[in-house]
Amino acid sequence: MEELRASNEELQSMNEELRSTTEELETSKEELRSMNEELTTVNHELTNKNEELSRVNSDLQNLLRSTQIATVFLDRDLRVQRFTPRAKDLFNIIKSDRDRPLDHVTRRFDYDGLTDDARRVLDRLAPIEEEVQNDEGRYFLAQIRPYRTAREDKIEGVVLSFVDITERREAEAELRRSEERYRLLMEGVEEYAIFLIDLEGRISTWNAGAEAIFGHAEDEIVGRPAAVIFTEEDRGGDAPRQEMETARREGQAADERWHVRADGSRFWASGVMTALYDPTGDLRGFAKVMRDNTERREREQELNRLNEKLEERVAERTREVRRLVSQLVQAEERERRRIGQVLHDEVQQQIYGAEMTVRQLRRGLPAEGEPLTGAVRQEKVEMLDQLEAILEESVEATRTLSAELGPSVLREEELSDILRWLAEHMQERYALTVETDVGEAPAVPDHDLRALLLRTGRELLFNVVKHAHVDRARLRARTEGADVIVQVSDAGDGF
C-alpha cells in the first residue's frame, strides 16, 4: 500500500509536470504564433521595401538614360562603376568597361588633369569645376564631386558630370559683344545725349554725349532726379513726370523744349523717351535720346524771317508786276487807238483822196471817139501826180506803222541797238530828241522780252511827247542783278 501510495503520488507529480509542460507548450505555441505574425509582417514590409527599391532603381535607371548630362561614377580607386548614355559622347566607353580604371578609358575632349583632379577631390572632398572642349568644338562644364552614400555618409568614390554649355557660352559671347556695342554707342556718340532713367525718375546711366551737351560728369549726375535737366518752369509744370507717364502709356514720348546745362545756361533740345520692358512685360525704366538743336532752331527762325521777307518781296514784286501789266494793257490800248487814229487820219484820208482823184479823172475823160485836148491832158497829168503823191504818202504811212508794230531791229539781241533805233525813230517821227545812255544795256536773247522792252521804252517816250511838252528826253538802260531797268527822264510838266 505504501508503494502504491508512493506510486500514486509520483503519478500525480508527473501529471502536474505534464500539465505544467502542456501549459508551457501552449504558451510557446502562442509565442510562435505571435512570432509568425511578426515574421509575416516583416516579410510584407520587406516585400514593400524591395518593390520600392526596385521602383527607385528603375527611376534611377530611367533618369540616367534620359538625362542629357554625361555622368560617370567612379569608386575610390577611380574605376568605372556606372555611366549615363550621354557619357558615350565624351568617353569611348561600353558596359563591359565596368571596374576599368579611368586612365584606361579614352576621351574625346581635352582635359589632361582629369585623373589628378579626381584624386584631389577624394583627398580634399571639395568639388572642382573646369570648362573643357570636345573634338567637335562644343564646350562642357566638367564637375568633379565626391560620391557620398545616403545612409552612412561615406565617401565611396567620385562623380564626373559634363554639362553642355555651348549655347550658354555663345549667349555670353553675344552678350559681351552687345555690351561692347552698347559701350561704344554710349561712349562714341557725342552728338546725342543717351541716358537711362529708372522707375523713380532717377538717372541710372550717362553717356559721353550727355556729358558734352549738359556739362554734368557721370559720377555727379547718376542717381539724381532727371528733373534737374529741365527748366524751372517745366519742373513747376510737372513736365518730367508727364513725359514719363506719356512714355509709359504710349511707349514713346517726343518733345522739343528748353533744357538747362550744369552752368545754368539754356539750350533748345529735341528728344524722345522710350519705355523699356523686360521679356515678361514688366516696365523696367526709360531710355532717353536728346540732341542740342539750338543752332538748328536759330537757323529755322532765321529762315522763317527770310521767308517772311521773301514773301513780302514777292508780294511787292507781284504788285509791281500787276501794275506793270496794267500799264502794259493801257499802253496796248493806247497803241491800238493810235494805230486806229493813224489809219483814220492819214492812211484812210489819203485813200479817200486817191479815190476822189480817180473819180475826177473818170469824169474828166472825153467821150469815146473824142480827141484829148492839151489842156485836158495837162489837167489829167496833174491829177495823176496828185494821186501818185497820195499813194506814196499812204505807202510811207503804212510802212511807218508796220515798222512801229514789228521793227526789224528786234532781230538784234543787243538791247543797246534796239534802244538807239527807238531814239532815232522818235526823232524822225515825233521830232523828239532822245539822248541815250545804254552802254550798260545787256544782250537779250528772248525775242518776246526784247519786244516788251522796246514797247515799254516807246510808251514812256510817247508819254513825254503827249504830256511833257518838251522836245528832249533821256533814255537809259542798265542791269541790277537779274533785272533789266529801262528809264526815261525829261524836264517837262509830267502828268
Q: How many CB atoms lie within 10 A of CB 262?
A: 14
Q: Where is the domain boundary, 378, 405, 432? A: 405
The pLDDT of residue 469: 82
CB distance 81 to 98 below 8 Å:
yes
Mean pLDDT of 421-443: 83
Query: Which residues 6+ apart lie within 8 Å of 272 measured at CB?
Result: 252, 253, 254, 255, 288, 289
Alpha-carbon distance of 197 to 201, in angstroms, equals 6
Mark whether 187 and 148 lie in a shared domain. no
Alpha-carbon distance of 107 to 89, in angstroms, equals 9
Which structural domain, as residue segments, surrounds residue 455?
408-495
pLDDT for residue 406 is more than 60? no
Q: Give the three-class secondary structure for 17.
A: helix
The pLDDT of residue 375: 64
Mark whether 47 and 139 lie in a shared domain. no
Mark whether 77 and 94 lie in a shared domain. yes
The pLDDT of residue 434: 87
State pLDDT tens for residues 341-388.
665 666 656 666 666 666 666 565 555 555 556 666 666 666 666 766
Mark whether 103 and 209 lie in a shared domain. no
Beta bridge partners of 205: 196
- Report the domain count for the chain: 5
Mark whether 42 and 81 lie in a shared domain. no
Bin 443: left if φ > 0, else alpha if -120 < ψ < 50, else beta: beta
Q: What CATH number is associated with residue 463?
A: 3.30.565.10
Which stretches does DSSP call E strand in 189-315? 192-197, 203-206, 252-260, 266-277, 283-292
pLDDT for residue 391 is more than 70? no
Query: Which residues 6+ apart lie within 8 Å of 35 measured at CB?
Result: none
Mark whether 401 and 412 lie in a shared domain. no
Q: Where is the domain boundary, 353, 376, 405? A: 405
State pLDDT tens for residues 435-486.
988 877 788 777 777 777 777 888 888 788 888 888 888 888 888 877 888 8
